[in-house]
Amino acid sequence: MKPNIKYIIYLTSITALGGLLFGYDTAVISGAEQSLQLYFIEKLGLNTLFHGLTVSSALIGCIVGGLISGFMANRIGRRNSLMVAAVLFFISAVLSAYPEFLFFEKGEPTIGLFIMFNIYRIIGGVGVGLASGLGPLYISETSPANIRGRLVTLNNLAIIFGTLLVYFVNWRIADGQIASWINDLGWRYMFASEAIPALLFFFLLFLVPETPRYLISKNRDDEALNILEKVNGSKKIAKEIYHDVKQTMDTPKGHIFSYGKMVIVVGILIAAFQQFVGINVILYYAPRIFADMGASADTSMLQTVLLGVVNFVFVFIALLAVDKWGRKRLLLLGSFGMTVGMLGVAALSFADNMGISALVLILLYAAFYNLSWGPLTWVLASEIFPNKIRGQVMAIIVMANWSANLLISATFPSLLEISAGMTYSFYGLMCILAFVFVWKWVPETKGKTLEEIETHWDSAPARTDTDLRTKKINL
């Protein structure tokens, strides 16, 4: 009997709204960052470091959200933790749009107001940190093995759609408006627009159940069996999966190094390389980068929408390819293409020729990133960890990912002042190292059940062989 695809898509689509908000919240700053520079940084006489920290302040919250995500996932459940994230998204959207709320006078920036704005952005970042790890975790724990990669990639497609959506919203808010209006009110509308999908996400989460693996961990076996049967379309298959999961839950292993250090190291490096290759520099500072190439304000916003379209198209291609080509092959291909794109931009920067060729190379880089590292980081992070430690280690991975993001994003304005060519060359070098890392240490997980993948680390925690020679089970 075939899996219940309609029910699976239903669960995945609602959960993926968290991914949309993830993309929306992290990219909304791209349209507002130049207005924030005028409103806060220049009026208060602050330097570029504070500008970088303001653009990246939400990432501090992402680190916190990642740090607590494992505890919350295990204590109150995957779904309820996502509901908390939705509430944080809403609070951040409203208060980032009007940071003067209660305590300050509108139009008169002070250090206190500057701090409160960043606190409100951090609140949203906590929501992003929760959603970034728990969304893929929820989907992974409710999906059949043979389509799990595509379903987790669907979450990343939602992230990219959220990015594209907010690029479009920012462009429409700014389109045809004079600069003074954008710098006074336009940026506020950009932040406030996030409140609508945040409310929708919160209420729709009431319509989905907890994951069967979480329910089994809490000895709510009847509920788990019911969901497994709904997902897989067969009581027999549901019982087989239940017994496999129950067996892993009943093992005494539970602390994060139970399966060796290699699984933790590989997970952390996957998360870190996703950021060290420089993608969020492109996402957060895209209008500024395009303006530095000579584009007008309106054109740079429109080029940013084009970037969002390229991102969306190539994540969609990854969605179709991930369960056919495999995770490892796509990561290697993506790393190679990203290297060509980023080092090409660096060469043009050294030659002081940042025109249409640089735009093409940036789009090439973004295309290969979204074919590989963008979606597959979260696919692998949701797959490679054993059941007993998945919630705990996902928290570490999410924290590592957002810490790397903060480091790269906050330092970009200062590095750009030193040398743009050197900055892009560094990201190109990271792409090369990412290729080597995947080739040597990342296992292929295509078509394996989560319990089969667990045996890779269980039987040989120190081994770096990337071939999982376990029996393949098609659910």
In a domain, 433, yes or no: yes
In a domain, 174, yes or no: yes
Does 9 or 49 have the greater pLDDT score?
9
In a domain, 475, yes or no: no
Q: What is the mean pLDDT of the chain?
A: 83
Work out the average pLDDT over 176-186. 80
The reported pLDDT for the residue numbered 172 is 87
Whether 157 has a pLDDT exceeding 80, the answer reads yes
The reported pLDDT for the residue numbered 448 is 75
Percent of the chain with pLDDT strictly greater than 70 = 89
Closest CA to 408 of 58, 56, 124, 155: 56
Whether 24 has a pLDDT exceeding 80, the answer reads yes
Percent of the chain with pLDDT strictly greater than 90 = 31
Work out the average pLDDT over 394-412. 83
Q: Report the first-to-last Cα separation within the chain, whole angstroms.
A: 9
Range picked from 27-36, 92-101, 165-174, 407-416 for highest mean pLDDT = 92-101
- For 102, list phi and psi in degrees, rounded to 5: 75, -45
Structure tokens, 450: 């989560």
What residues make up the domain containing 54?
A: 5-208+251-459
Whether 405 has a pLDDT exceeding 60, the answer reads yes
CB atoms within 10 A of CB 180: 10
Where is average pLDDT lowest: 76-85, 233-242, 401-410, 457-466? 457-466
In a domain, 17, yes or no: yes
In a domain, 221, yes or no: no
Cα diameter, the chain: 68
Does 292 or 100 have the greater pLDDT score?
100
Structure tokens, 63: 């680190």
Please count the structural domains in the chain.
1
Residue 69 to residue 77: CA distance in whole angstroms: 10
Residue 396 to residue 183: CA distance in whole angstroms: 38
Structure tokens, 424: 């892009």
Whether 431 has a pLDDT exceeding 80, the answer reads yes
The reported pLDDT for the residue numbered 457 is 62
Residue 79 to residue 202: CA distance in whole angstroms: 10
DSSP one-letter string for 223-259: HHHHHHHHHHS-HHHHHHHHHHHHHHHTSS--STTTT
Does 230 or 387 have the greater pLDDT score?
230
Structure tokens, 123: 């609140």
The reported pLDDT for the residue numbered 69 is 86
385: left (phi over 0), alpha (psi -120 to 50) or beta: beta
Where is average pLDDT lowest: 292-306, 338-352, 378-392, 400-414? 292-306
Do 213 and 77 touch, CB atoms closer than 8 A?
Answer: no
The reported pLDDT for the residue numbered 293 is 64
The reported pLDDT for the residue numbered 473 is 34
Residue 399 to residue 66: CA distance in whole angstroms: 5
Going 193 to 197 to 198 to 199, the CA torsion angle's sign is positive
In a domain, 162, yes or no: yes
Structure tokens, 251: 């093992």
Residue 368 to residue 338: CA distance in whole angstroms: 6
Range picked from 59-63, 185-189, 410-414 for highest mean pLDDT = 185-189
The reported pLDDT for the residue numbered 251 is 60
Range picked from 194-198, 305-309, 346-350 for highest mean pLDDT = 194-198
Q: What is the CATH number of the domain that holds 341?
A: 1.20.1250.20
Residue 164 to residue 134: CA distance in whole angstroms: 22
> Tens digit of pLDDT for each residue in 306-344?
887 888 899 889 888 888 888 899 999 999 999 999 999
Whether 228 has a pLDDT exceeding 70, the answer reads yes
Going 434 to 258 to 402 to 321, the CA torsion angle's sign is positive
DSSP one-letter string for 374-440: HHHHHHHHHHSS-GGGHHHHHHHHHHHHHHHHHHHHHHHHHHHHH-HHHHHHHHHHHHHHHHHHHHH
Do 46 and 117 touch, CB atoms closer than 8 A?
Answer: no
> Tens digit of pLDDT for each residue in 276-295?
998 877 765 666 666 666 65
> Tens digit of pLDDT for each residue in 118-129?
999 999 999 998
Range picked from 110-124, 253-267, 349-363 for highest mean pLDDT = 110-124
Residue 384 per-residue DSSP state = S
In a domain, 239, yes or no: no
Do 64 and 92 touch, CB atoms closer than 8 A?
Answer: no
DSSP one-letter string for 116-133: HHHHHHHHHHHHHHHHHH
Does 194 or 43 have the greater pLDDT score?
194
User: What are the angstrom distances between the C-alpha of 261 and each of 267, 286, 391, 466?
Assistant: 10, 38, 16, 16
In a domain, 235, yes or no: no
User: What are the angstrom distances between the C-alpha of 466 and each of 153, 238, 435, 462?
Assistant: 21, 30, 14, 12
> Has this prediction a pTM greater than 0.95?
no
Name residue 82's amino acid.
Answer: L
Residue 30 to residue 33: CA distance in whole angstroms: 6
